[in-house]
Amino acid sequence: MTTDMGSPALRQAQIRRVRPQDAARMRALRLEMLADAPLAFLETIADAAARSHAEYAARVAYTSRGAETAQFVADPGGRFVGHAGGTVAPREAGLTVIYAVYVTPTWRGSGLLGELIDEVAAWSRACGRPELLLEVVVGNDRAYRAYQRLGFEDTGVRVPHPTIPALTELQMRRPA
């Protein structure tokens, strides 16, 4: 009997906060994210590719510690396969805004999304912020349903997409 060890269900990925030495792997994942889902993130692949390694390294070092912002990755021991970030909400105490959520296509449906969100939630609670907020492009039904399964509720708030005026985002919240 053979087992498909390539199946995401049979592979393991460690979910952890980024480390300063992760800059090159974070850059590779960021470029993959932007190529795969260009409307979901706030920069173009060209802009991300133009940033220097030093810029990536500085960003990763900054988000590897502290309570203001954090990035978490899914690390199966090679190329990163998932990411979720969290940051303080500038005008609402007790709230963490989740950003840049991504799971590489071959790992979708494996439970990795929930694990990444759980890690952001644990960090948020440890920082004294008991609530999570994220935004989803209206019409991205796959993401919307996935976040609903993780306990997020549509608040009814709609906001303009920050970089593409023709798009609207909806806000979803849940307890951390």
Tens of pLDDT along 5-44? 444 545 799 999 999 999 999 999 999 999 998 878 888 8
- Is residue 6 a part of any domain in this protein? no
Tens of pLDDT along 74-125? 999 999 999 999 999 989 999 999 999 999 999 999 999 999 999 999 999 9
- Check residue 10 and give its pLDDT: 53
Q: What is the pTM of this model?
A: 0.91
Place of tokens 């990755």: 73
- Is residue 106 a part of any domain in this protein? yes
Tens of pLDDT along 114-169? 999 999 999 999 999 999 999 999 999 999 999 999 999 999 999 998 888 889 99
What rounded mean pLDDT belongs to the chain?
92
Q: Find the domain containing 169 and state its range.
A: 14-175
Domain CATH for 139:
3.40.630.30
User: How many domains does the chain divide into?
Assistant: 1
Question: Residues 6 or more apart from 122 whose CB is under 8 A from it?
Answer: 176
Calculate the alpha carbon distances from 63 to 56, 100, 145, 154, 175 in Å: 11, 13, 28, 28, 22
